Chains A and B, each alone.
Chain A
């Protein structure tokens, strides 16, 4: 079920998001697409890539900040996110090593673990209603024939936490990818979104 915005912002002006993946999986692209969608809606948002050694396979973070009011945002890393999206299934149980779980209120993970198993392995006790798990790898394999799951996970985020509309994300994708990849990524977004909404 789609969350109401006031829950997400919880009385605060800013929501901070961390994407956790591995180099080459498109965590940075996912964060950029989210910010692009928000900005194209006229909202104040930024996307910050993590600046690590850009090696394929190494853990990578990317961040978003979205605010209710128009104001300048800091460009520091988000180390205590309120929303954590784990796009690499291998990192689902290791998230604690890369990001503080202290403030997490919403958790969206590419994993075959159950919600309770995931929470247990992360060592975080939040309501299971705010946890979304999906086998994005399987979806990505169906769509791309390869384990490219960043846009599936972006779909899962938008399907659960309505910071931006799905159509804005679709527009961002249309502008960011070459024509052949647009169709596939649109499919990925929609399948990710449907999955967390409890659909097929």
Chain B
């Protein structure tokens, strides 16, 4: 019998995640893009410049001298009521650090894509999550995506979330540098109709207007500063429901939704491992392998990272015998050393949860094949069976260290 390859009818574009992000910014009909165009910039802004040049997108592109300035420029544009976009990675994100706080403090609905990569020194141009994890307390909404399609969809959702008058916070959409940013996958693009149907433009935030002058971000005394920060904390906390609403509406309109967390084979899972971005796809393949051997394994994706989806994640982990958490960055001098593992251990301190084994892996894109993910489940199973899970992080894949 002849074997056919299953095909899809809808229009698909072969896109790297970087190109998918550029398509999404175009389809969101952004007004202003600012970017530092040199390393460690991604091809996102290169593609956006082409789209503007080809007349596909009517936007202003500002080439600035650093990422610090790139974010400053979109802050200015956003404060004037423009729909803004910028993209960065690695050291570029680190250089933005100061301005990240200003964007969230001013409550501006900026959307930024981050191709997550390692930080110097020593120099690495490869993937891990050191850059994004350093930014977790900057007051931005942070969403991790696992495929080019999800990244495209999430950039569009990010405008819906950020510009919601109940939210008014900037959003980072983070995806694995190199591993996703340069891999070509099929993406169903929605075209510019999405800007009219799903995210029609409306300036929902306080904007600078010469006819109705206001001042923003001005100096505040100890009498007022605290309330601004409290309001910001509450806004980020309560943004989760709006993130989920935006996702449901997107799903209703376009058939794809992702939730705050996602489980794979979790219905009867006894042990599970949590990962972010492309690691979730790998974990699913590892689960398939383990299931063949009769191991009741499951995989969990943490998609929305800030605000932390405490309740949604709890529903997935509460019945497990043991949970592994893979971090791709190191919280130096802390035990556990994985920031996400640390988040879970502290947020569920007063709940009944399974033992959590923290793993660090993939630092500087240390190679992780499906068999490595299988091994992580095996280590987890072994440690769960021998009651030897504790707060110490296991550094998987370091040369000379056997686990």
Contact = CB atoms under 8 A, between A and B. Distances in A.
A74 interface: yes
A76 B282 contact: yes
B281 A72 contact: yes
Given A39-B13, A46-B185, A74 B2 contact: no
A5 interface: yes
A76 B370 CA distance: 7
A75 interface: yes
Interface stretch (B252-260, B324-332, B352-360, B361-369): B361-369
A9 B3 CA distance: 9
Q: Is the interface of B mostly helix, strand, loop or mixed?
A: loop
A179 interface: no
A49 B281 CA distance: 18
Nearest to B176: A75
Interface in A35-57: 35-36, 38-49, 51
A6 interface: yes
B63 interface: no
Interface size, A (range): 20 to 34
B186 A45 contact: yes
Contacts of A51: 126, 178, 182, 365
B183 A47 contact: yes
A67 B185 CA distance: 12
B233 interface: no
Nearest to B179: A75
A46 B285 CA distance: 16
Given A51-B126, A72-B281, A74-B282, A43 B5 contact: yes
Contacts of A144: none
B362 to A, nearest CB: 11
B376 interface: no
A42 B7 CA distance: 5
B369 A46 contact: no
Contact of A6 (B1, B147, B185): B1
B6 interface: yes
Contacts of B182: 48-49, 51
Interface of A: 4-6, 9, 32, 35-36, 38-49, 51, 66-70, 72-77, 79, 163
26 contacts: A6-B3, A9-B3, A32-B14, A35-B184, A35-B185, A38-B5, A39-B184, A40-B14, A42-B9, A46-B184, A49-B183, A51-B126, A51-B182, A51-B365, A67-B5, A68-B3, A68-B4, A72-B147, A73-B281, A74-B370, A75-B176, A75-B179, A75-B281, A75-B282, A76-B369, A163-B5
